[in-house]
């Protein structure tokens, strides 16, 4: 009986120790600090392809192209009707009269789409139609059969369907517009007719391409892959590429290996960078931004002039005085004397930098100038990228 009790206590102690070790591991590596490989990298050969085509949208409610101004729309209509067996080149058209083609219900459009990787024949994809003539709206129109070609000039999909776009309405004194009426989307509007060849099952090596190239991140990805596979098969070849040799147990089943690898978690590294959009006053700073010891002061000269004219009237029943306007001007000057000099110590963090600048009452526009001045002084250990 005593042996049984001692054995149970030993099991409980081991369970408690295992739980404590797991708690230390989770505390040391927070889940928010890591990302899956599939979220920060792409695999060789797994990519979209851009498709483009030229077509006609019909059925518009008087918002199509003016055929007198859009010669390409008229020629496209004639060519389409002739393919359908309609003689559109009548004698009056050949003589230069346009009485037969003046409808405003047709618009010429450029159709674009993205062909997903390994899309099979018969798969449907979304397309976008954008007017290229003087059409004012594509709402309610229908895109006719439009071949979509790739960069090699081959037709990979055919688009057709009803266009969904924004709208525009106006009256005598007001108008309203929602979205972009001259550009619309057709959900599942194209049918894949040609497949992009590719067989990943017999690949002997795979390349992992980082979306944000970095030496440290590439090394961490290779270490995570090697740790999972148990072999030294992954090696970074440059800051953006990690080459993985397919181990024997995954030969003929590369997709299974990629499925396992893309779920691995790594901690991406990033360069200290400050991104500035001067047009909107937007500032984005990474967590690794540091500054050396520097003193910052910011002040503006503001002059406010207020005019409050007063009316001066003569005394009641006076025969000599007259009503006149007397100018009253109030001038106030603010030289920013309440702005203090702030001292930033060496190696302050992003949070301390933001708190210190906010304490000075500095807005985004002034903060841009201050960051550029700190960079010019050599005290900002980060790159500044102006959009």
The distance between the two most distant Cα atoms of the chain, rounded to a whole number of Å, is 127
Question: Do 353 and 360 meet the contact criterion of CB atoms below 8 Å apart?
Answer: no
Q: What is the pLDDT of residues 216-274, one digit of tens each?
A: 999 999 999 999 998 899 999 999 999 999 998 888 888 899 999 999 999 998 888 88
Strand 35-36 vs strand 383-386: parallel, antiparallel, or unpaired? unpaired
Please tell me the predicted confidence (pLDDT) of residue 144: 93
Q: What is the mean pLDDT of the chain?
A: 78
**CA proximity to 117, closest of 213, 200, 207, 225:** 200
Overall average pLDDT of the 339-349 stretch: 56
Residues with Cβ within 8 Å of residue 279, at least 6 apart in sequence: 387
Please tell me the predicted confidence (pLDDT) of residue 222: 94
* H or E stretch at 244: strand 241-245
Please tell me the predicted confidence (pLDDT) of residue 15: 43
Q: What is the pLDDT of residues 91-117, one digit of tens each?
A: 444 444 444 566 788 999 999 999 998
Question: Do 165 and 185 meet the contact criterion of CB atoms below 8 Å apart?
Answer: yes
Q: Is 192 in a helix, a strand, or coil?
A: strand
Please tell me the predicted confidence (pLDDT) of residue 328: 73
Question: Do 255 and 30 meet the contact criterion of CB atoms below 8 Å apart?
Answer: no
* Sole residue written with tokens 């690949």: 203
Residue 121 pLDDT greater than 70, yes or no: yes
Q: Could you tell me the residue ranges of all domains in the chain?
A: 49-167+178-192, 199-266, 274-314+323-386
**pLDDT class of 297 with cuts at 50, 70, 90:** low
**CA proximity to 155, closest of 185, 92, 113, 183:** 113
Q: What is the pTM of this model?
A: 0.65
Cα–Cα separations (whole angstroms), residue 130 to 75, 124, 150, 186: 19, 20, 18, 11
Q: Which pair of structure tokens corresponds to residue 173?
A: 């004194």
Q: Is the dihedral of CA 146, 147, 148, 149 positive or negative?
A: negative
Q: Checking phi first, is residue 246 left (phi over 0); if not, alpha (psi -120 to 50) or beta?
A: beta
Please tell me the predicted confidence (pLDDT) of residue 96: 46
Overall average pLDDT of the 364-383 stretch: 79
Q: What is the pLDDT of residues 29-38, one digit of tens each?
A: 344 468 899 9
Query: Among 160-164, 165-169, 293-297, which stretch is predicted with the lowest mean pLDDT?
Result: 293-297
What radius of gyration do the chain's Cα atoms show?
A: 35
**pLDDT class of 335 with cuts at 50, 70, 90:** low
Residues with Cβ within 8 Å of residue 189, at least 6 apart in sequence: 124, 125, 126, 127, 143, 159, 160, 161
Q: What is the pLDDT of residues 70-96, one digit of tens each?
A: 788 888 888 888 888 887 766 444 444
Q: What is the pLDDT of residues 187-214, one digit of tens each?
A: 999 999 998 877 777 788 899 999 999 9
What is the rounded distance in angstroms from the CA atom of residue 161 to the CA atom of residue 146? 10
* Residue 339 DSSP label: P
pLDDT > 90 in the chain, percent = 31
**pLDDT class of 64 with cuts at 50, 70, 90:** confident
């Amino acid at each position: 009986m005593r042996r049984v009790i001692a054995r149970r206590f030993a099991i409980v102690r081991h369970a408690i120790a295992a739980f404590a070790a797991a708690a230390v591991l989770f505390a040391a590596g927070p889940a928010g600090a890591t990302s899956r490989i599939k979220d920060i990298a792409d695999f060789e050969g797994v990519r979209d392809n851009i498709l483009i085509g030229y077509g006609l949208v019909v059925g518009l409610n008087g918002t199509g192209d003016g055929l007198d101004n859009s010669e390409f729309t008229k020629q496209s209509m004639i060519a389409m009707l002739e393919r359908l067996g309609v003689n559109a080149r009548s004698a009056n058209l050949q003589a230069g009269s346009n009485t037969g083609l003046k409808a405003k219900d047709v618009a010429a459009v450029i159709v674009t789409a993205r062909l997903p990787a390994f899309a099979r024949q018969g798969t449907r994809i979304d397309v976008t139609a954008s007017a290229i003539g003087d059409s004012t709206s594509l709402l309610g129109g229908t895109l006719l059969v439009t071949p979509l070609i790739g960069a090699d000039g081959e037709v990979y999909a055919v688009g057709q369907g009803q266009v969904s776009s924004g709208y525009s309405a106006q009256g005598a004194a007001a108008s309203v517009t929602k979205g972009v009426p001259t550009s619309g989307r057709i959900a599942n509007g194209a049918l894949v007719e040609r497949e992009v060849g590719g067989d990943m099952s017999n690949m002997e090596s795979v390349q992992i391409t980082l979306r944000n190239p970095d030496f440290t991140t590439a090394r961490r990805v290779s270490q995570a892959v090697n740790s999972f596979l148990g072999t030294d098969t992954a090696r970074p070849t440059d800051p953006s590429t990690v080459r993985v040799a397919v181990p024997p147990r995954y030969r003929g089943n590369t997709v299974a290996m990629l499925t396992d690898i893309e779920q691995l978690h790594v901690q991406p590294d990033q360069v200290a960078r400050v991104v500035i959009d001067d047009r909107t006053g937007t500032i984005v700073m990474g967590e690794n931004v540091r500054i050396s010891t520097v003193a910052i002061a910011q002040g503006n000269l503001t002059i406010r002039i207020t005019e409050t004219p007063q009316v001066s009237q003569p005394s009641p029943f006076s025969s000599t005085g007259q009503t006149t306007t007397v100018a009253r001007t109030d001038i106030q000057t603010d030289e920013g004397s309440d702005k203090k000099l702030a001292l930033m110590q060496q190696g302050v963090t992003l949070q301390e930098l933001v708190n210190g600048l906010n304490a000075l009452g500095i807005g985004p526009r002034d903060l841009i100038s201050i960051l550029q001045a700190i960079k010019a002084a050599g005290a900002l250990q980060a790159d500044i990228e102006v959009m």
